[in-house]
Amino acid sequence: MTAGTRSGVDPDDLPDGLVVADEGGRVVAFNTAAARITGVRASTALGRPLETALPLEDLKGRRWWALTDPYGGLAIRAGQPERNLLLPSGHEVLVSARYVRTRPTGPVSRVVVCVRGTEARRRTELSHAELIATVAHELRSPLTSVKGFTATLLAKWERFTDDQKRLMLETVDADADRVTRLIAELLDISRIDSGRLEVRRQPVDVAAAVWRHVQAHTAAGQPPDRFLVRVQQPLPDLWADPDKVDQVLGNLLENAVRHGEGTVTIEVAPAEATATAAGDGAEPSEGRNTEKGTAVTVRDEGPGIPEESMGRVFTRFWRGSKRGGTGLGLYIVKGIVEAHGGTITVGRGPSGGAEFRFTLPVGAPAFMA
């Protein structure tokens, strides 16, 4: 139905809409994606003038083809950059065009138009709006409490006993911590989303880090027998960002304690790491002869993650239970693991609880390998 290409690539296989018009402005190619995005059948579009086959308007309602006049105008124009335009249905599409000339300043022999749907973009925009709404909400509750207590203390300082004042200040202190933590999470998210998460690698002892986290939980009142740590020695070296590894372990353990039940088992073992493209600009794995790595599994005996939700646990703001926090933890965990070139998966433990497993490649600087 469409023009074949010398490379053997079928235009119908392209993910984006492709529309080609000949030197007379008639449509000679209209691929499957173009038909899907515009809702116009290829058989209807083929042979018709570009402006009727693909009637586009800019956001001010001006007819796009009349406005840009691909076949007229300056003969040095090479095309149109990507624009947000409207279909007659009111749907937004991203459109770019290239004007092909056989001679540099000669007449246009072909107009090649690329059309992309904007659903994906709209989705991220929606989640930005959602992000702002959630952030505002999450920040407001601790700040309301801070304001309430400080205002009360300032107005009635003499009327409270030292103990009462201390209690109020402790609450203010804890709320300030919550705000700080939320802001740190948001900064992490913005770094992850923009690919700017920095990984400062140095040798990391994961097993020791796991023990530290377990001790912190038992010091905070969890019974020591709630945790079972298994370390399979010898472990390969690990070069990673220690603060970020702490963040990952902290989140997974906190989740297991808060959302899970029963014994929390943490296993640290050598593993084959499938190196993903590291987000920190590290050299690709060539030059390192083996892809060794360390795997950490955190598993509990609680209700686990429902099968149908497993694909969503690593997305922002997904919380499965009422005990949920902001739902940002696992999104950040995944971002950190991937910035290290590692992978993380979720599954079901033998007793049905949640089982998270992440693998970090050795990550040694190239000159060390």
Q: How far apart are CA 321 and CA 307, in angstroms?
A: 14
> In the complex with ligand ATP, which residue's Cβ is closer, 210 or 313?
313
Among 117, 329, 341, 353, contact with Mg ion (rule: CB under 5 A) = 329
Residue count, binding to Mg ion (CB under 5 A): 2
The entry of ligand ATP, Mg ion, none that residue 335 binds, CB within 5 to 8 Å by partner kind? none
Full 3-state SS string of 36-98: HHHCCCHHHHCCCEHHHHCCCECCCCCEHHHHHCCCCCCCCCCEEEEEEEECCCCCEEEEEEE
The entry of Mg ion, ligand ATP, none that residue 321 binds, CB within 5 to 8 Å by partner kind? ligand ATP
- Binding flag, residue 326, Mg ion (CB under 5 A): no
> In the complex with Mg ion, which residue's Cβ is closer, 101 or 319?
319
Q: How far apart are CA 16 and CA 115, in angstroms?
A: 6
Peptide bond into 284 cis (omega under 30): no
Which residues of the chain form contacts with ligand ATP (CB under 6 A)? 251, 255-256, 259-260, 300, 302-305, 313, 318-321, 324-331, 354
Q: Token digits for 210?
A: 């796991």
The entry of Mg ion, ligand ATP, none that residue 302 binds, CB within 5 to 8 Å by partner kind? ligand ATP
Q: List CB contacts of 69: < 8 A, sequence separation 6 or more.
A: none
Q: Are the C-beta atoms of residues 68 and 55 closer than 8 Å to each other?
A: no
Residue list 236-255, contact with Mg ion (CB under 5 A): 255
CA distances from 200 to 205, 243, 287, 340 (A): 15, 9, 20, 10
Q: Are the C-beta atoms of residues 269 and 295 closer than 8 Å to each other?
A: yes
In whole angstroms, the minimum distance from the beta carbon of 316 to Mg ion comes to 12
Q: How far apart are CA 306 and CA 361, in angstroms?
A: 29
In whole angstroms, the minimum distance from the beta carbon of 360 to Mg ion comes to 19
The entry of Mg ion, ligand ATP, none that residue 274 binds, CB within 5 to 8 Å by partner kind? none
> In the complex with ligand ATP, which residue's Cβ is closer, 259 or 357?
259
C-alpha closest to that of 145 among 184, 183, 174, 181: 174
Number of neighbouring beta carbons within 10 Å of residue 183: 12
In whole angstroms, the minimum distance from the beta carbon of 317 to ligand ATP comes to 8
> In the complex with Mg ion, which residue's Cβ is closer, 255 or 359?
255
In whole angstroms, the minimum distance from the beta carbon of 316 to ligand ATP comes to 8
If you ran DSSP here, which 8-state letter would residue 281 be given?
-
> In the complex with ligand ATP, which residue's Cβ is closer, 241 or 301?
301
Q: List CB contacts of 257: < 8 A, sequence separation 6 or more.
A: 217, 222, 226, 264, 300
In whole angstroms, the minimum distance from the beta carbon of 137 to Mg ion comes to 17
> In the complex with Mg ion, which residue's Cβ is closer, 329 or 361?
329
The entry of Mg ion, ligand ATP, none that residue 259 binds, CB within 5 to 8 Å by partner kind? ligand ATP
In whole angstroms, the minimum distance from the beta carbon of 321 to ligand ATP comes to 4
In whole angstroms, the minimum distance from the beta carbon of 127 to ligand ATP comes to 14
C-alpha closest to that of 252 among 294, 209, 204: 209
> In the complex with ligand ATP, which residue's Cβ is closer, 22 or 254?
254
The residues that touch Mg ion, with contacts defined as CB under 5 A, are 255, 329
